[in-house]
Amino acid sequence: MTMVTSVTGEPGVMACAQPQADALMIVDNFLPREFAAAMRADIDSHFATPYKHRPDTHQVWNFWYVPQTYTYLRTQPERVIQRASVEHFMGALRAWSSETLGLARLSWPYLSFYINGCRQGLHNDAQNGRFAFVYSLTRDERRSTGGETIVLRRGDPFLRNLRKATAGTALYELIEPCFNRLVVFDDRMVHGVQLVEGSMDPVEGRFVLHGHIEESAPIVTGPLPPEQVLQGLRCALEPFDKEHADQARHYDGPLVLRFTISPDGRVGSLRVILDRVFAEREGDVGWSAISGKLVERLRAVVFPAGAGETIVTLPLRFGSPVRRQDIPTHR
C-alpha cells in the first residue's frame, strides 16, 4: 500500500456528500454550453477554408494506426482549440475528479478525430492511469454512424450466459459520443470505439478530448497544514503496511477515503469514496476485512489540534504504480 507524498496540500475543490464513485460514470452537459460550443467552433474553424490551410497551422494530425487495435487521428488539443479553453476544461475535470473520485492528477489530453474507417479495437489501459476520461465535442447531428465508446461488462461473458442467448449491449455498454458528454471509467475495463462510417467531411466525424486520471497526494483543506496531516497519516499507515504487507500484496487498485479532523485533532466522519481494489487470486474474499482494519486504524489517529475543521481526501494505492514512465500532466 502506498500514499503519494510528492505533492503537498491541494487547496480548493472540496465538499462532503456524494455517492461512492462507480466503475463507469457518464456526465451529460459537463461544461456550460457556451464553453463547449467555443471549443467546437475552434474545431470547425480549423477545417474551414481548405484552400487557405498552411503547413504550420494544418499539418498537425498524427494518423495513429496500430494493426488490429487503433485507427484514428490524434493531436495536442492546443494545436486546434485555444489553449485557454483546454485549460478551462481540464480545471473543471480536475475539480470533478477530486470531488467524485478523490483523484486529482490528470494527464494532458489528446484531441482525437475519427472519420470513416476509424475505430479502436478492444484493449485496456491498466498501465496508463486509474480512470480514463473521454469528453466528446462530436456534433449530436452528424452524417456518420458509429463512434460509440464500448465498455465490456464485468465478468466472464461465457459463464454468465451459459443458458441464455446473448448479444450486443447485454455484453457491453455502448455510449454515444453526445456533444458535451463526459465518460469516465476504470482504466482496467476492456474498452474500444465502434467503427465510424459515413461522410468524409471531417466536421461530421467523432471528436473527443481524452486522457487518464490517477492519485495525487492527499487533498487537505482547512486550518491544519498538509505536512502535519501527512505526518499523522504516516504514523498510522506505516505500521499498518508492515503488519499487512503479506496480505495486501495480493490486491490491486485505488482506495480513497475522505474524513474530517475536528478542532481537537480527532477524526470525525470517515467514509470510503472510491474502492476499486480487486484481488488477483480468483475467489479471494479477504479485501473487506483488510479495508475495515485500515478504516479502524485511521479513525484512531489523533492529529494536532487546529482552529477549525480540516477535511482530508486520502488516496491509497494497492499494487504497483500504474505507470512505468511519467507523462505530461495537468495539475
Instruction: Report the interface residues with Fe ion, using CB under 5 A.
Output: 125
**Minimum CB distance to Fe ion smaller for 177 or for 306:** 177
- Of 125 and 215, CB closest to Fe ion: 125
> What CA–CA distance (Å, rounded) separates 51 from 28?
36
Instruction: Give the nearest distance from C-beta 120 to Fe ion in angstroms.
Output: 7
* CB closest to Fe ion, residue no: 125
Q: How far is the CB of 254 from Fe ion (least distance, A)?
A: 18
Nearest distance in Å: CB 252, Fe ion:
18
Cβ 185 to Fe ion, closest distance in Å? 9
Cβ distance to Fe ion smaller for residue 105 or 191: 191
Query: Do 193 and 112 contact (CB within 8 A), yes or no?
Result: no
Cα–Cα dist 94/182, whole Å: 12
CB of 118 to Fe ion, least distance (A): 14
Nearer to Fe ion, 208 or 257 (CB): 208
Query: Which residue, 212 or 258, is less far from Fe ion as judged by CB?
Result: 212
Look up residue 186 and give its three cell numbers: 476504470
Closest approach of Cβ 152 to Fe ion, in Å? 12
Task: Give the shortest CB-66-to-Fe ion separation in angstroms.
Answer: 12
Work out the angle between the directed axes of helices 33-47 and 83-100 (0-180°, nearest 10): 140
Least distance between Fe ion and beta carbon 223 (Å): 41
**Nearer of residues 192 and 306 to Fe ion, judged by Cβ:** 192
HEC profile of the chain: CECCCCCCCCCCCCCCCCCCCCCEEEECCCCCHHHHHHHHHHHHHHHCCHHHCCHHHHCCCEEEEECCCEEEEEECHHHCCCHHHHHHHHHHHHHHHHHHCCCCEEECCEEEEECCCCEEEEECCCCCCCEEEEEECCCCCCCEECCCEEEECCCCHHHHCCCCCCCHHHCEEEECCCCCCEEEEECCCCEEECCCEECCCHHHCEEEEEEEEECCCCEEECCCCHHHHHHHHHHHHHHHHHHHHHHHCCEEEEEEEEEEECCCCEEEEEEEEEECCEECCCCCCCHHHHHHHHHHHHHCCECCCCCCCEEEEEEEEECCCCCCCCCCEEC
Residue 199: CB minimum distance to Fe ion, A: 25
Write the single-letter amino acid at 264: D
What is the spatial distance between Cα 33 and Cα 77, in angstroms, rounded to a whole number? 19
